[in-house]
A and B are shown apart, each in its own frame.
Chain A
Amino acid sequence: MLDPAPPPQAAGVIHDLGYRGYDGPRLGRPQIVRALTWHSFRSSFGIGRGAKAKIIPVLALVAMCLPALVNAFAVARGNARLFGYDVYSPTLRVVVVTIFIAAQAPELVSRDLRSRVLPLYFCRPLRRADYPLAKYVALTAACLILIELPLLIMYVGTIASASGGRAVWNETKAFIPGLGVGVMWAVLMAAIGLVLASRTGRRAYATGIVAIVCFLTWTLSLLLIQAEGGLTATSTGARIAGLFSPYTILDGVRIWLGGTSQGEVANPGHFGPLYGILAVILLAASLGGLAARYRKVSQS
Chain B
Amino acid sequence: MPSIQAPPIEAGAVIETRGLTKVYPGDVTALDGLSVDVAPGVTGLVGANGAGKSTLIKILLGLLPPTKGQAKVLGHDCGTDGETIRTLLGYMPEHDCLPPDVTATEFVTHLGRMSGLPPTVAKERAAESLRHVGLHEERYRQIGTYSTGMKQRVKLAQALVGDPKLLLLDEPTNGLDPAGRTAMLELIARIGLEFGISIVVASHLLGEIERICDNLVAIEAGRLLRADTITSFTQMSQVLAVEVEEGLAQLQAELAVHGLTATVQARTLLVPLGGDDTYDVVRDCVANLALPLCRLEQRRHQVEELFRDEEEVPHA
Binding site for B on A (CB under 8 A): 18-22, 24-29, 31-32, 35-36, 39, 48-50, 111-112, 114-117, 119-127, 298-299
Contacts and interface: CB of A to CB of B under 8 A. Distances in A.
Nearest to A123: B91
Interface of B: 1-4, 58, 61, 63-64, 83, 86-87, 89, 91, 93, 95-102, 106, 110-111, 113-119, 121, 125, 128, 132, 158, 162-163, 191, 194-196
Query: For chain A, what secondary structure do more than half of its interface residues adopt (helix, strand, loop), or is it mixed?
Result: loop
A298 B195 CA distance: 29
A19 B132 contact: yes
Given A48-B106, A125-B4, 5 more contacts: A32-B113, A114-B99, A115-B98, A116-B93, A125-B87
A127 B83 contact: yes
Contact of B114 (A24, A28, A111, A126): A126
Contacts of A111: 99
Contacts of B110: 39
Nearest to B84: A125
Contact of A49 (B83, B101, B128): B101
- The residue in B1, B115, B191 that gathers the most chain A C-beta atoms within 10 A of its C-beta is B115
Given A25-B3, A28-B116, A36-B114, A19 B194 contact: yes
B87 A26 contact: yes
A120 B118 contact: no
A116 B116 contact: no
Given A28-B3, A112-B99, A123-B86, A22 B125 contact: yes
A119 B96 contact: no
B1 A27 contact: yes
B141 to A, nearest CB: 13
A22 to B, nearest CB: 4
B305 to A, nearest CB: 30
A120 B100 contact: no
Contacts of A20: 128
Contacts of A116: 93, 95-97
25 contacts: A18-B194, A19-B194, A19-B195, A21-B163, A22-B162, A28-B2, A39-B113, A111-B99, A115-B98, A116-B93, A116-B96, A119-B63, A119-B93, A120-B97, A120-B114, A120-B158, A123-B89, A123-B91, A123-B93, A124-B86, A124-B87, A124-B162, A125-B115, A126-B114, A299-B64
A36 B195 CA distance: 29
A18 B132 CA distance: 8
Contact of B83 (A21, A48, A121, A125): A125
Contacts of A126: 114
B121 A24 contact: yes
A48 B106 CA distance: 9
B116 A31 contact: yes
Contacts of B163: 21-22
B61 A35 contact: no
A38 to B, nearest CB: 9
A119 B6 CA distance: 22
Contacts of B89: 123
B148 to A, nearest CB: 15
B128 A117 contact: no
Nearest to B122: A35
A13 B2 CA distance: 39
Contacts of A127: 83
A48 B196 CA distance: 35
Nearest to B161: A22
Contacts of A32: 113-116
B90 to A, nearest CB: 8
Contacts of B96: 115-116
Contacts of B106: 48
Contact of A26 (B97, B100, B116, B194): B116
A28 B113 CA distance: 11
Contact of B4 (A28, A115, A119): A28
A48 B163 CA distance: 25
B116 A125 contact: yes
Nearest to A52: B101
A117 B97 contact: yes
Nearest to B168: A123
Nearest to B160: A19
B38 to A, nearest CB: 18
Given A19-B132, A116-B97, A125 B86 contact: yes
B117 A27 contact: yes
B208 to A, nearest CB: 23
B113 A123 contact: no
B3 A120 contact: no
A19 B96 CA distance: 26
